[in-house]
């Protein structure tokens, strides 16, 4: 088998493996928790509704209404690239306690395209929802006695519902920060969705349920937004070891203890720090070590340029699979400009041996230019599962075609291709000797 045939065989094998990754729509696992980094420093927040009564009657009323204010404290004010926060506090006796934890000052985009037919009318709404103010980290910690409810929701797989689990846990009082994020709604259409348009901006204000759907769309995994971690004693004392995974955004985080809509604590604050080569990616809303994608990209680019593809189509599914903290929309957008580096060097070296058909290249380039306007909008309108499935099928088809082109029967019938390979080898040797 000639060198191109061998290259195609290797390409087929790589594409087949990547297709397997693309068709696997399994939920990503939450990264392991780091250990505590700082010496314990207690921070105590008083009850948010604690008011000093002005009269004896007011004092009596306040005592009767409060029957136990909500207080909260944490054991450390600083963690380094994740860690464990020990939370303790006091709430009214006999009440469940929910902890709402979020990143302060690190907002990211969350979007959702509603194209599913209405179960009653069969009409597809074709509405696109988007917010630019979803917290980079958000999670509700419920009492440990509610673990069975979370497990039941997890059995639904990708069909789990944010609003459903909030209702089951009775944790509506702890869903506040994402609910306050402003949301834009667009009326799209079948045609608009095909060309990647968001459609016409609507004046209707989306409801609280929409914010829950966007929360799911952003974080994808149930484990990333809900956990049963709070131990509540009969007298109202509560405690929880809050695991903050590695890769979260650096900066300030807040924790509020909720009992119900009217009863909660004031927030306590801690800070997460990161050190190079771990850097924060604002658009992705996550931190990551740059060494691993650097090595991966180096290997993929060498192989991709060898096959004349640049490596972008290989790198895309690999990054989505190996680094699940990266949203697929960010991966797709990031890979696109990085291909310029490999393609630029490839164009230069192929032009030196006069092995480029510029007429064909310009024609293909114009088609790619048009696709470059449509693709980004379509990317934000599909889920990660749909993204993986589409990419998987594309790679399977390409792998099949490449395998067919390596068969002896195909090579025997394509004398022209064999002549081209000989000419390419000749020009490459001449260029190398200069």
Does any domain span residue 283?
no
Within this chain, do residues 49 and 24 fall inside the same structural domain, yes or no? no
Pair 294, 248: CB distance under 8 Å = no
Within this chain, do residues 302 and 267 fall inside the same structural domain, yes or no? no
Domain limits at 301? Answer: 3-28+288-433
DSSP character for 47?
Answer: B
Within this chain, do residues 194 and 256 fall inside the same structural domain, yes or no? yes
Structure tokens, 23: 């068709």
Which pLDDT score, from 0 to 100, does residue 341 have?
Answer: 74
> Which one is predicted more confidently, 97 or 408?
97
Residue 277: count of CB within 10 angstroms of its CB? 11
> Which one is predicted more confidently, 69 or 81?
81
Does any domain span residue 236?
yes
Which pLDDT score, from 0 to 100, does residue 375 have?
Answer: 74
Which among 273, 298, 332 is the end of a domain? 273
Query: Which pLDDT tens digit goes with each residue over 224-255?
Result: 999 999 999 999 999 999 999 999 999 999 99
Which pLDDT score, from 0 to 100, does residue 48 have?
Answer: 55
Within this chain, do residues 304 and 347 fall inside the same structural domain, yes or no? yes
Checking if the pLDDT of 207 tops 60, the result is yes
pTM of the model: 0.70
Checking if the pLDDT of 260 tops 70, the result is yes
Pair 100, 177: CB distance under 8 Å = yes
Which among 221, 249, 273 is the end of a domain? 273
Within this chain, do residues 118 and 223 fall inside the same structural domain, yes or no? yes
Within this chain, do residues 300 and 248 fall inside the same structural domain, yes or no? no
Query: Which pLDDT tens digit goes with each residue over 322-349?
Result: 887 788 777 877 877 777 776 777 788 7
Does any domain span residue 280?
no
Within this chain, do residues 317 and 375 fall inside the same structural domain, yes or no? yes
Does any domain span residue 265?
yes
% of the chain at pLDDT higher than 70: 74
Within this chain, do residues 23 and 48 fall inside the same structural domain, yes or no? no
Query: Which pLDDT tens digit goes with each residue over 385-427?
Result: 667 677 677 778 777 777 777 777 776 667 666 676 677 677 7
Q: How many domains does the chain have?
A: 2
Within this chain, do residues 370 and 266 fall inside the same structural domain, yes or no? no
Report the sign of the C-alpha dihedral through residues 292, 23, 249, 338, in that order: positive
Give the integer Cα–Cα distance in Å for 140 and 227. 7
Q: Which alpha helices (DSSP H) does 309-357 contain, by range?
A: 312-322, 328-352
Within this chain, do residues 299 and 408 fall inside the same structural domain, yes or no? yes
Structure tokens, 151: 């497990």
DSSP string of 61-120, one letter each residue: HHHHHHSS--EEEES-SEEESSEEEEEEEE--TT---EEEEEEES-EEEEEEEE-PPPTT
Within this chain, do residues 122 and 223 fall inside the same structural domain, yes or no? yes
Does any domain span residue 33?
no
């Amino acid at each position: 088998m000639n060198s191109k045939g061998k290259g195609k065989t290797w390409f087929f094998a790589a594409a087949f493996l990547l297709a397997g990754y693309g068709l696997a729509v399994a939920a990503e696992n939450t990264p392991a928790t780091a250990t505590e980094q700082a010496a314990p420093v207690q921070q105590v927040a008083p009850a948010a509704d604690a008011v000093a009564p002005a009269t004896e009657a007011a004092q009596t009323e306040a005592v009767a209404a409060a029957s136990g204010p909500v207080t909260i404290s944490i054991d450390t004010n600083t963690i380094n690239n994740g860690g464990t926060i020990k939370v303790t506090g006091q709430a009214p006796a006999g009440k469940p306690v929910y902890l709402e934890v979020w990143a302060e000052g690190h907002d990211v985009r969350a979007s959702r395209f509603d194209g599913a037919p209405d179960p009653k009318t069969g009409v597809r709404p074709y509405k696109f929802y988007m917010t630019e103010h979803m917290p980079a980290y958000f999670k509700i910690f419920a009492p440990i006695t509610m673990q069975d409810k979370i497990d039941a929701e997890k059995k639904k797989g990708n069909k789990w519902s944010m609003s459903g689990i909030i209702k089951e846990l009775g944790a509506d009082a702890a869903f506040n920060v994402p609910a306050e994020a402003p949301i834009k709604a667009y009326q799209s259409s079948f045609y608009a969705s095909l060309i990647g348009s968001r459609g016409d901006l609507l004046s209707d204000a989306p409801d609280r349920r929409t914010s829950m759907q966007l929360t799911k769309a952003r974080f994808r995994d149930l484990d990333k937004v809900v956990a049963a971690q709070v131990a509540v004693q009969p007298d109202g004392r509560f405690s929880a070891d809050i695991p903050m995974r590695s890769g979260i955004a650096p900066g300030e985080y807040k924790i509020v203890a909720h009992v119900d809509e009217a009863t909660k604590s004031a927030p306590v604050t801690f800070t997460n720090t990161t050190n190079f080569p771990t850097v924060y990616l604002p658009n992705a809303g996550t931190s990551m070590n740059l060494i691993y994608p650097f090595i991966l990209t180096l290997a993929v680019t060498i192989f991709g340029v060898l096959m004349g593809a640049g490596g972008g189509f290989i790198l895309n599914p690999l990054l989505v699979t190996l680094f699940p903290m990266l949203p697929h929309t960010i991966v797709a957008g990031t890979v696109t400009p990085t291909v310029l580096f490999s393609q630029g060097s490839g164009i230069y070296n192929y032009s030196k041996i006069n092995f480029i058909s510029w007429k064909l290249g310009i024609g293909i380039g114009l088609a790619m230019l048009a696709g470059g306007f449509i693709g980004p909008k379509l990317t934000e309108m599909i889920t990660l599962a749909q993204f993986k499935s589409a990419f998987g099928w594309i790679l399977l088809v390409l792998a099949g075609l490449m395998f067919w082109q390596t068969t002896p029967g195909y090579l025997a019938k394509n004398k022209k291709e064999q002549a081209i390979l000989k000419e390419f080898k000749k020009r490459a040797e001449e260029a190398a000797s200069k």
